[in-house]
Homo-oligomer: A and B are copies of this chain.
Amino acid sequence: MKRRTFLKSAAMTTAGAAGGAVALSSPAISQNKRQWRMVTTWPKNLPGLGTGAQYFADQVTKCSGGRLTVQLAAAGEIVPAFESIDAVKSGTVEMGHGCPYYWKGKAAAAEFVSNFPFGLTAQEYNAWYHFGGGDKLCDELYNDAFGCKFLPCGNTGVQHPGWSRKEVNTLADFQGLKIRMPGLGGEVMKRLGATVVNLPGGEVPTALAAGTIDWAEWNNPYGEASMGFWRHAKYYYSTGWHEPGTVLELFVNKKQWDGLEPDLKAIVEQCAYAANVVMLSEFQARSGPVLEQFVKSHGVIIKRLSDEQLIKIAETSATVLSEITAKDPMSKKVFDSMNKFRSEQKGYSDVAEADYLRARSLNYKWPS
């Protein structure tokens, strides 16, 4: 013990003597090894979301050489999922991983940080965050509302609006349809005459099996694989107008964030950005084969919403968005920023991403 104490104090003196040598000042001192806890809104290792959060935690620990150890706590381990942001705000834990729209009851604008119906693709969202002023706006909201630093840390990509027991071809077919779709999407469907049913995730497959609901929304093929919706609903609808690219978030207690050395701050940021692309990559990579399996092995029929339906859904979305943003200045501020960016990107994405995917899908001979 004595020997250790001596060496430690020697290291501390070195740190003092070296002055500007940031890297030197902390790692040698065991008190300065930070052990942080990260609460998540996901079950442990939930495919895509839970595994992505774990990837982020592990990479911060690795990059910092153990100077900042991030221990992941699954939903319910320390606090229930939907109290995660309070636990970080109060300092019970240092950080959390979730989805911004979970906090709309505490700050309406958080819903818009997630994205919005007919909003941005994942790639456009990242562009908005890094080069469209998104970083500052998100920080402003999270600082004021939650005492947190915000970082994007994952994206689901374009989601699917859902699985239906009934074929839905016209606007009239939405009338009385019992739909499980949370958030803004559900609000829009309600205005179109659907009966929107709120159900916790775990009850959805049973409700669909029993016909208590006709339609269930979840996220994307990979995320839905384990839910077995295909057993009860044959029609799988495209496309994710309601959530075109939902961001996942890292939120860090602001005091803890401000107290981090600059190199640790940079590590947390870079690891969050890296987790962003890795998580979206997992959803994309796994969703392709899963979707193929739905169709080929389980007889699922992929259906597209009709243009008539989509146009009405878009205009109803516009009404809902305008009503919400009229009531809350910060919601308006976030929406206006993303919506301006959307209008600047729409034409470009149409000739770049959309035209390309259309061209690739033409009928031609290709090596297998």
A residues apposed to B, CB below 8 Å: 3-4, 7-8, 10-11, 13-14, 17, 21-24, 27-28, 33, 59, 62-67, 118, 121-124, 126-132, 157-158, 160, 220-221, 238-241, 244, 261-263, 266-267, 269-271, 273-274, 276-278, 280-282, 284-289, 291-292, 295, 302, 304-305, 307, 310-311, 314-315, 318, 321-322, 339, 341, 343-368
Contact = CB atoms under 8 A, between A and B. Distances in A.
Contacts of A360: 118, 241, 244, 314, 346
A348 B284 contact: yes
Nearest to A302: B351
Contacts of A278: 130, 273
Contacts of A285: 127-128, 130-132, 341, 345
16 contacts: A23-B64, A118-B359, A130-B278, A158-B353, A239-B356, A240-B356, A270-B271, A271-B274, A276-B277, A287-B352, A288-B345, A292-B347, A304-B355, A318-B367, A346-B361, A358-B358
Most chain-B CB neighbours within 10 Å: which of A244, A284, A344?
A: A284
A158 B352 contact: yes
A67 B62 CA distance: 15
A315 B23 contact: no
A291 B361 contact: no
The 3 lowest CB-CB distance pairs between A and B, nearest first, are A23-B65, A131-B285, A239-B355
A362 B28 contact: no
A12 to B, nearest CB: 10
Most chain-B CB neighbours within 10 Å: which of A157, A351, A361, A367?
A: A351
Contacts of A307: 362
A351 B14 contact: no
Most chain-B CB neighbours within 10 Å: which of A132, A239, A343?
A: A239
B351 A238 contact: yes
A283 B136 CA distance: 20
Contact of A27 (B8, B23, B241): B23
Given A23-B67, A64-B263, 4 more contacts: A130-B285, A239-B352, A270-B270, A273-B274
Most chain-B CB neighbours within 10 Å: which of A289, A291, A315, A366?
A: A366
A24 B12 CA distance: 12
B129 A281 contact: yes
Nearest to A131: B285
